[in-house]
Amino acid sequence: MSWRNNLAEDIADPIVAGALKHFKASVDAWSEAVYSPPRTVLETTRRTWRLAASWALGCLLAAGSLGGTLYDRHVRRESARIAAIKAAEQKAALEHKAAVQPVTATIVARRQPTAMKHAASENEDLLATVDSDVSRQVPAAMEPLAQMMVSDGAN
Amino acid sequence: MGLGVVNLRRMVTSIKSMAAGTAVKPMTADAADEIAAREFAIIVESHRRQIFRFLLASLRDVDLAETLTQECFLKAHRNWKHFRGDSSAMTWLMRIAINLQKDHWRNRRLQFWRHTQSNAVDVDEASDWLPNGERNAEQQILAKEQVAQVWKAVEGLSARQRTVFLLRYVEERELNEIARATGLSEGTVKAHLSRALGRVRAELRGKR
């Protein structure tokens, strides 16, 4: 028997045909019962969430980097300002010092002879006071000795 | 649906060629991709159920059938731009599914030393599924017995015979479509089908 006759016979055979029909119906029923359709909604939701999360993360990173840059710039500017102020203060101090020094020297130089004179007169006065305080009328018995001292001083 | 998709594809191809010649409105690559994506969504919607059913009948394992169905469409999506529409989309998808199934069995055979637990249901359990028609209880029992006998016969078939048998009697595909999907000649398909039917007939007769 050739395969052609065999096929024709099987289709003609009501038992085989019925069994194949039931078999197909059974497979269809089973497949329908356990078939789960593609979850496109879930996928869309996931995609939406992923998109939202990536946007949020992107914004956060952008804000962070921008904030960091601005903060860094601010800190640098502030440091530069403080450094400039310090430098200006130092410069001003140096300039002030340089301006003040010659004047002081002049004043000191001008004041020096006067002070010396003043000091000398003070010494003279002091000595005069000492002389007046210390000097006493010598007794009569010491008169010859006193005469000798005067004459020594005169010589 | 299959013809519609093929026509749409041809239309897209002609539009693309026209765009290349800049005779008419040029179509951007994004627009072409969008059309291709829509096309593929239609393909998934219309053929996924059939591919799953074929894999379920071949493997009798719901999880594995689901996994291979996903893989089948993933592979199809990757190669969608290479599909020229020479055969129907269904035949093309069936071919991918058959190859995936072959790869699966080959891998399992190579991994025989591993403990591979199969979730395939047994023949009796598979034959429990019958639609509630207008049959009485006796007819239902008889139908269930017949289904179990066919399952037993199918279980004894070679992988190729089983594929051909299921494509013909579950998926109701034409012989030339089966030949294209399996990569066999029509004569070989008929020969496999004949042997498979002989086995089914013997199983049914043996139980009479």
What's the pLDDT score for residue A95? 87
Of the pLDDT bands very low, low, confident and very high (cuts 50, 70, 90), residue A48 is confident
Token digits of residue B46: 């219309």
Q: Do B57 and A27 touch (CB under 8 A)?
A: yes
Token digits of residue B60: 């009798």
What's the pLDDT score for residue A55? 92
Residues 6 or more apart whose CB falls under 8 angstroms from that of B162 comprise: B58, B154, B196
pLDDT at B149 over 70: yes
Instruction: Determine the Cα–Cα distance for residues B96 and B73; give it in Å rounded to an integer.
Output: 9
Lowest-pLDDT choice from A57-71, A101-115, B44-58: A101-115
Instruction: Determine the Cα–Cα distance for residues B23 and A155; give it in Å rounded to an integer.
Output: 144
Q: Do A31 and B49 touch (CB under 8 A)?
A: yes
Q: What percent of chain B has pLDDT over 70?
A: 76
Residues of A in contact with B193 (CB under 8 A): 3, 7
- The nearest alpha carbon in chain B to A7 belongs to B194
- The nearest alpha carbon in chain A to B188 belongs to A3
Are B37 and B77 in contact, with CB atoms under 8 Å apart?
no
- The nearest alpha carbon in chain A to B46 belongs to A37
**Residue among A10, A19, A30 minimizing CB distance to B149:** A19
Instruction: Determine the Cα–Cα distance for residues B193 and B22; give it in Å rounded to an integer.
Output: 51
Of the pLDDT bands very low, low, confident and very high (cuts 50, 70, 90), residue A5 is very low
Are B126 and B151 in contact, with CB atoms under 8 Å apart?
yes
From the CA of A81, how many Å to the nearest CA of chain B? Answer: 54
Lowest-pLDDT choice from A58-62, A131-135, B24-28, B37-41: B24-28
Among left, alpha and beta (phi > 0; psi -120 to 50; other), residue B172 is left
Q: What string of H, E and C letters represents the secondary structure of B70-135?
A: HHHHHHHHHCHHHCCCCCCHHHHHHHHHHHHHHHHHHHHHHCCCCCCCCCCCCHHHHCCCCCCCCC
What's the pLDDT score for residue B2? 46
pLDDT at A71 over 70: yes
- The pair phi, psi for residue A52, each rounded to 5°, is -65, -45
Token digits of residue B84: 């020229």
Lowest-pLDDT choice from A48-52, A144-148, A151-155, B82-86: A151-155
pLDDT at B114 over 60: no
- The pair phi, psi for residue A33, each rounded to 5°, is -70, -35
For testing the chain B interface, which of A6, A22, A40 should be mutated: the one with the most B CBs within 10 Å? A22
Instruction: Determine the Cα–Cα distance for residues A130 and A101; give it in Å rounded to an integer.
Output: 41
Lowest-pLDDT choice from A92-96, B9-13, B117-121: B9-13
The residue-averaged pLDDT of A92-117 equals: 78
Residues of A in contact with B169 (CB under 8 A): 20, 23-24
- This complex has an ipTM of 0.78
Residues of B in contact with A20 (CB under 8 A): 150, 169, 200
Are B186 and B175 in contact, with CB atoms under 8 Å apart?
yes
Q: Do A19 and B127 touch (CB under 8 A)?
A: no
**Closest by alpha carbon to B147, among B165, B135, B129, B163?**
B129
Whether B184 and chain A come into contact, CB under 8 Å, resolves to no
- What is the overall mean pLDDT for chain B? 79
Per-residue pLDDT of B3-12, as tens digits, reads 445 555 555 5
Instruction: Determine the Cα–Cα distance for residues A54 and A50; give it in Å rounded to an integer.
Output: 6
**Residue among A6, A18, A29 minimizing CB distance to B197:** A6
Q: How far apart are the first and last CA of chain B?
A: 42
What's the pLDDT score for residue B28? 74
Per-residue pLDDT of A122-133, as tens digits, reads 888 888 888 777
- What is the overall mean pLDDT for chain A? 80
Higher pLDDT, B88 or A79: A79
Residues 6 or more apart whose CB falls under 8 angstroms from that of B184 comprise: B160, B164, B178, B192
What's the pLDDT score for residue B45? 82
For testing the chain A interface, which of B48, B52, B138 should be mutated: the one with the most A CBs within 10 Å? B52
- The nearest alpha carbon in chain B to A27 belongs to B57
CA B97 to chain centre: 6
Structural domain boundaries in chain A: 7-38
From the CA of B194, how many Å to the nearest CA of chain A? Answer: 6
- What is the CB-side half-sphere exposure of residue A154 using CA atoms within 13 A? 6
CA trace torsion B201, B202, B204, B208 (10° rounding):
130
